Every structure is written in structure tokens, then in C-alpha cells.
Amino acid sequence: MEHLPDTLESLFDAERRRDWKRLRMLLHPDVIWTVIDREESRVVGAQAYIDRLMAAYRDGGASDFVVSHVRRGSEGLVATELIDEEGRISVDVFKIDESGVLVQEWEHLLGRASG
């Protein structure tokens, strides 16, 4: 497995610690986060991104996750597979700009691992 880029390492660490101020510094002001589950939803802007994360944890979202796969693509794209402590899997693609901030995320929620 490849290592995560510094931006994602820092972003995930800030999320795990609920350090919203630090996390905001890693987001482009106009970051776009698209979540694809049964339907597609989108948030735009750093504060909307953080508000959505805060709501997920407040509403009983899993409190930790592991990154099981990482694949770097071109143009600042990084694909990851995340598995939370309840066995739910998501595939996330992150676009990081040349200054090292997150500009876009596509999150595909896949459900629980079978087995």
C-alpha cells in the first residue's frame, strides 16, 4: 500500500481528534464534497464540509476508521478505501491542489463488509 500524502495524513488526524480548526486549514475555501449513497448529496465550502463532519459524529457516526488501500493518480488525485470500526466501507477520491489543500472529495458509501 502506498503512503498517504501529507495533506490526507493531516486531514485524517485532525478528523480523528475533532480538531476542526486544524482541519479547516487543510481545506480550500470552496472545497466540494460529494457523497454518493442511495442518493447523491453535495456540500460546498470549508465550513459546510466541517459542519457535515461534526453532524455525522454528533449523530452517532463511527468514531474511527482505517485506511486499507491508497492509490495515487495523476493531477493530485488519491483514491482510498476506508473501513470504519463498524465495518462500513467507503471509497473516497480526494483532489489535492499544488498548494497542498483539499479541493474536492468524492465519497462512495458501499455498506458493510461481508463475511
CATH of the domain at 17: 3.10.450.50
| Domain count within the chain | 1
Residue 115 lies in a domain: no
Residue 1 lies in a domain: no
Q: How far is residue 66's CA from residue 62's CA, in Å, rounded to a whole number?
A: 11
Q: Which residue has the cell 488519491?
A: 78
Mean pLDDT rounded to a whole number for the chain: 88
Identify the H or E element spanning 23.
helix 20-25
Domain hosting 24: range is: 6-110
Q: How many CA atoms lie within 13 A of 29 on its CB side?
A: 0
> Taking the complete model, does pTM exceed 0.75, yes or no?
yes
CA distance 98 to 100: 5
| Residues 56-98 pLDDT 10s | 888 766 667 888 788 887 788 999 998 888 888 999 999 999 9
Q: What is the pLDDT of residue 61?
A: 63
1 confidence band (pLDDT: 50, 70, 90): very low
**What count of residues does the chain have?**
115
pLDDT at position 45, please?
A: 98
